[in-house]
Amino acid sequence: MTEQVGSDSAVLVHFDLKLDDGALAESTRRENKPALFRLGDGSLSVPLEQALLGLRVGDKKAFSLAPEAAFGPSNPDLVQFFSRRDFSETGVPEVGTIMLFTAISGGEMPGLIREVADESITVDFNHPLAGQPVYFDIEVLAINPQQENKNAHLTG
């Protein structure tokens, strides 16, 4: 029986993630480190899970996701303005730098420095790919790999 990706499957995949301009945003192939996704655990968007359903080991699929189905729309409320004085301990960062900030909850949030002006520094806390459509090129390497390993161990 050839197993298919189901709504609660764990899926080991290689993928390339590209942007509108064809730039490679992320690739598991580049470092030869496949990603393990578990469908149904809430970590993937519903449209991404839908694109994986029914695939089998060895299948390759290319598809795109709109911003809302990928990393979400860009939220203007997540763009914050800080005084240059707020950076007196760390020094004024350069545009494009990603820094960790302490959230109100006490956790850390990465922020991208968008602008450095005379009196203020603009920090964007949106995901770097928010607001952008993305293009996936996925190859299924294994379905439920822990289960396969467990079975291999039991029979071997």
Domain boundaries, the chain: 10-72+130-146, 76-124
State the pLDDT at residue 40. 92
pLDDT in tens, 40-98: 998 888 999 999 999 999 999 999 999 999 989 999 999 999 999 999 888 999 999 99
* pLDDT for position 2: 61
Question: Which DSSP string do the residues of 72-113 spell out, in sequence order?
Answer: ----GGGEEEEEGGGGTTT-PPPTT-EEEEE-TTS-EEEEEE
Query: Which residues touch 95 (CB under 8 Å, ≥6 apart)?
Result: 113, 114, 115, 116
Q: Is domain 10-72+130-146 given the CATH code 3.10.50.40 in the classification?
A: yes
User: In the predicted model, is pLDDT for residue 1 greater than 60?
Assistant: no
**pLDDT tens-digit map of 113-134:** 999 999 999 999 999 899 999 9
Of 61, 5, 60, the closest CA to residue 36 belongs to 5
Which string of DSSP letters, residue by residue, matches 105-137? TS-EEEEEEEEE-SSEEEEE-S-TTTT--EEEE
Cα angle: 116, vertex 120, 123; to 5 degrees? 65
- Rounded Cα–Cα distance for residues 122 and 115 (Å): 5
Domains 10-72+130-146 and 76-124 share a fold: no
Mean confidence (pLDDT) of the chain: 89
CB 132 within 8 A of CB 19: yes
Instruction: Copy the structure tokens of residue 58.
Output: 């060895």
Residue 147 pLDDT:
54
Tokens 């449209």, residue located: 47
For residues 143 and 110, give the distance between their C-alpha atoms in angstroms, rounded to a whole number.
32
**CATH class assigned to 76-124:** mainly beta
Q: How far is CA 39 from CA 80, 96, 144, in A?
A: 34, 33, 11
